[in-house]
Amino acid sequence: MIGSGSSSTPSGTNQTTQGSNDEEQQKINELITNLNEMTFEDSSIIPSLAQKINSDEPEDLYHGLIGVRKLLSKEDSPPIQEAINANIVPRLIALMTKSSSANKVKFEAAWCLTNLCSGTTEQTEYCIDNGGITAFLNLLKIENLEVAEQSIWGLGNIAGDSSQFRDIILNQNGVELLVNALKNDSNVSLRRNGVWALSNLCRGKPLPNLSLIKGAIPFFADVLKNDTDEQSLTDAAWGVSYAVGNEQGVEIFLAQNAVPNLIQLLSHQNLALIVPVLRTIGNIVSGPEEHTSAVIKEKNFFPELFKLVKHKKKAVRREIFWTISNITAGTPVQFEGIMGNPDYVNIIIDVAKNDVPEVSREAVWALSNSTASCTPAQIIRILNNGVYSCLLSLLSQEDPRILQVVLEGIEHCLKWGEQFNLNDDNGKNKFVAELENQGALDLLENLQSHEDAQVSEFSAGILADYFADEEEEVEA
């Protein structure tokens, strides 16, 4: 038998064969168009559609695949279990993995399996046990846009179901295969679904092993630097926020030089994008000194951050002050850009006193953290700019978690006053004197009987260390 590519084949025969193939493809395309225009609503026909799927006749095969796919695409109660009961999953996976299957067949089979993997965890697990993940991953290697995109969608569904399924994909080199399928492809839809699927592979509890997802970080950074699609940017920001959950992940991201792009996105109008951008920045600045410096060295960072402090969404405000609290927990040089700016300080004080608890708690942390490590000039400024006074006023708070943070900040101030010999004209520690002048001593004494043990012990310790003389005078 002579192969179709042999030069011995008469040219006329070759043209006839090509014409015959074109005619067959045209018929299939017309069949697919007609089937897509049909309505499939009755789930009772699934067994008969399953029989067609098991046929090798193109007309029957496409009829079965498209019919099942359309039934599984119903928004309300798609018949996933009925399809599984009809035993179509093994056949779908066989069609996806068979090298002789046409790309249109692989696409329709992958679409059916994707919908089946959007059901319950048990239904998804059944598809996985039959080789679903391996089939999807193998389809990523096919240079066909719609097949690759459908496979990405299926993998994203599976990864989003549970960390267990996510790890199965990761352990089969899922990130590398996904990134390779997305490289140099400008198709917006494919890239968008790919970023979403990669983000799902990086999320979940416990977080995945960094060695399995680190290849996604440069890709996310590239999206943040070059894409304009809001959904892709949002999913990339979430993906990075998960991936920078440890120091090595941060270092990989920082090496991509995408921090300026993150900061630029702070001014975006889309709330769904701002939140993961803030979370990523907050995760970075919560680490070692050099990680924090990589963010705050950008001249427009603090101005862009503080533009959002009055955002109507408390989720945004909470992320902002959590980020600020991580910065003020750093070195005196690092938080000087915030605490050395009177406008910023006044904003933090106002939020600590007046915002909703979820936000004010983070602002209190920011103030308290700024007292932990100070130069003499900075601790004097904390006394003069109202930070210490604010902490004293918060001793009347009821939330024990806030009280613990407040007491810690007050104790820091009292300690620095003593250590740096910051005394008033009477030789008394200025911070002791200010506490008394603010009428906060009674509040502190009352906290000794607080129901929270830590609050009680903390306040008793401060009184013993710095106000023992006053108690002795009262007793005398």
Kindly report the CATH number assigned to the domain that includes residue 161.
1.25.10.10
CA 83 – CA 91 distance, rounded (Å): 12
Asked if residue 170 is part of any domain, the answer here is yes
Look at residue 30 in the predicted model and tell me its pLDDT.
Answer: 85
Residues 6 or more apart whose Cβ sits within 8 Å of residue 203: 160, 166, 238, 239, 242
Which stretches of the chain score pLDDT less than 50?
1-18, 472-476
Asked if residue 98 is part of any domain, the answer here is yes
Asked if residue 101 is part of any domain, the answer here is yes
Asked if residue 89 is part of any domain, the answer here is yes
Tokens 């779908």, residue?
92
Asked if residue 218 is part of any domain, the answer here is no
CA 112 – CA 447 distance, rounded (Å): 63
Look at residue 15 in the predicted model and tell me its pLDDT.
Answer: 43
Q: Give the domain range for residue 61.
A: 45-187
Tokens 């040089």, residue?
333
Asked if residue 271 is part of any domain, the answer here is no
- Summarize pLDDT for 392-439 with one digit per residue, the tens: 999 999 899 999 999 999 999 999 999 999 999 999 999 999 999 999
- Summarize pLDDT for 449-465 with one digit per residue, the tens: 999 999 999 999 999 99
Number of structural domains, the chain? 1
Look at residue 32 in the predicted model and tell me its pLDDT.
Answer: 81
Asked if residue 300 is part of any domain, the answer here is no
∠ at Cα 355 (354, 358), nearest 5°?
Answer: 135
What's this model's pTM, rounded to 2 decimal places? 0.86
CA 68 – CA 108 distance, rounded (Å): 9
Look at residue 178 in the predicted model and tell me its pLDDT.
Answer: 96
Q: Write a three-state SS string for 126-170.
A: HHHHCCHHHHHHHHCCCCCHHHHHHHHHHHHHHHHHCHHHHHHHH
Asked if residue 402 is part of any domain, the answer here is no
- Amino acid identity, residue 10? P
Q: Write a three-state SS string for the chain.
A: CCCCCCCCCCHHHHHHHHHHHHHHHHHHHHHHHHHHHCCCCCHHHHHHHHHHHCCCCHHHHHHHHHHHHHHHCCCCCCCHHHHHHCCCHHHHHHHHHCCCCCHHHHHHHHHHHHHHCCCCHHHHHHHHHCCHHHHHHHHCCCCCHHHHHHHHHHHHHHHHHCHHHHHHHHCCCHHHHHHHHHCCCCCHHHHHHHHHHHHHHHCCCCCCCHHHHCCHHHHHHHHHHHCCCHHHHHHHHHHHHHHCCCHHHHHHHHCCCCHHHHHHHCCCCCHHHHHHHHHHHHHHHCCCHHHHHHHHCCCCHHHHHHCCCCCCCHHHHHHHHHHHHHHHCCCHHHHHHHHCCHHHHHHHHHHHHHCCHHHHHHHHHHHHHCCCCCCHHHHHHHHHCCHHHHHHHHHHCCCHHHHHHHHHHHHHHHHHHHHCCCECCCCCEHHHHHHHHCCCHHHHHHHHHCCCHHHHHHHHHHHHHHCHHHHHHHHC
Cα end-to-end distance, the chain, whole Å: 117
